Amino acid sequence: MTIKLDDVAKLAGVSKTTVSRVLNNRGYLSEETKKKVNKAMKELNYQPNAVARQLFRKKTNLVGLIFPTVDNPFFGELVAELEPRLFKAGFKVFIGNSMNDPEKEKAYLRELISNQVDGLIVGAHNYNIDEYMNTNLPIVAIDRIINKDIPVISSDNYQGGKLATELLIKRGAKFIVITDGPLSLQTPAHKRRQAYQDVMKAHGLEPRTFLINFSWSIEKKKRSIEKMFQKFPTMDGVFATNDIDAAMVWQTAEELGIEVPADLKIIGYDSAHSTRLLLPKLTTIEQPISAMAEAAVHTLLQRISGENIICEQVLPVRVWHGRSV
């Protein structure tokens, strides 16, 4: 009697699809499910054939993108750069807008895996999501550390932080505050703050960090920035680690009658096209968004093809000179 995939599924109490996923190490699977299927295969002495192994190795030509919000100019432009490159390579795109909600990110991740996408490019800001650890799916991360097996594409965050802080000091600022996101977030972007601290200490100045959570609403961020002005009434420089925060700092300064850059010098980070169009006077650190998208797509295609890849790619940044410093 020939033991079939259906027999294993029946004994394990799972679907035929689940057995195939276990065989091919594909998709999200709990450890309990894996144990049940492997136990059933052992009891039945099931020998998987080539057809069974290929059942879930069909290429779908679909790629999933998961980002915190396309409402942010940086992520919006990044998605706009990724999609046409993937389309040119023969892939259609599913976009998951996680809104910085870990449960929503998990839901998107499970849905994308169940739809058998060929790969994922992720930049969402949640962490400790087990689903990323339990899939054999090719994944590339942008400015986010997931685990040592998933390659990371980022700009030179340390150099960016160094350029920003040195420019503020060069223009005469001494009481400089940096805004940064939650310290628990696993991202190379924290190197911006590290560079700021190193440069400040090298010049004999005291580093001061003001935390603004990336996931907060605009209203909550605005209230927080108002508190920053109350906490540091003599600050004469702000290094905002993203352009949205920089814009809100500038707006709050104007409402308080503080002149930029005469009384307060501000520098942001990201320099998306839309930001430069709407805020041409904002001095900011320009991330190479197009080059980051190109590197991410190239790396993902290499992973899908089973080629060797570079685990970390760091791309150069530069200053976009406006009039806020």
Q: 240 pairs with which residues across the strands?
A: 179
Q: How far is CA 80 from CA 65, 105, 154, 251, in A?
A: 11, 20, 17, 28
* pLDDT above 70 (res 53): no
Rounded CA separation 83/122 (Å): 13
Provide the pLDDT for residue 58: 62
User: If pLDDT is split at 50, 70 and 90, which confidence band does 51 have?
Assistant: very low
Give every CB contact of residue 83 below 8 A, 6+ residues apart in sequence. Answer: 65, 93
pLDDT digits (tens, 9 = 90+) for 188-198: 889 999 999 99
Q: Which of 28-32, 62-66, 239-243 has the lowest mean pLDDT?
A: 28-32
Q: Which of 34-38, 66-70, 139-143, 318-322 has the lowest mean pLDDT?
A: 66-70
Of residues 241 and 55, the one with the higher pLDDT is: 241
Q: Which of 32-46, 102-116, 237-251 has the lowest mean pLDDT?
A: 102-116
* pLDDT above 90 (res 260): yes
pLDDT digits (tens, 9 = 90+) for 265-308: 999 999 999 999 999 999 999 999 999 999 999 999 999 888 88
For the chain, how are helix, strand and coil distributed in percent, rounded to 5? 45, 15, 40
Q: Which candidate, 246, 292, 325, places its Cα nearest to that of 143?
A: 292
Provide the pLDDT for residue 203: 98
Q: Which candidate, 208, 204, 212, places its Cα nearest to that of 246?
A: 212
Provide the pLDDT for residue 49: 58
Provide the pLDDT for residue 26: 67
pLDDT digits (tens, 9 = 90+) for 180-232: 987 777 788 899 999 999 999 999 999 999 999 877 888 999 999 999 999 99
* pLDDT above 90 (res 172): yes
pTM for this predicted structure: 0.80
Q: Are 161 and 195 in contact (CB under 8 A)?
A: yes
Mean pLDDT of 45-74: 73
Provide the pLDDT for residue 315: 98
Place of tokens 């699809």: 17
What is the rounded radius of gyration, in angstroms, for the C-alpha atoms of the chain?
24
Rounded CA separation 177/163 (Å): 15
Joined together, the tokens standing for residue 269 give: 């980070």
Joined together, the tokens standing for residue 286 give: 């320009």
pLDDT digits (tens, 9 = 90+) for 119-159: 999 987 656 666 676 667 889 999 988 877 889 999 999 99
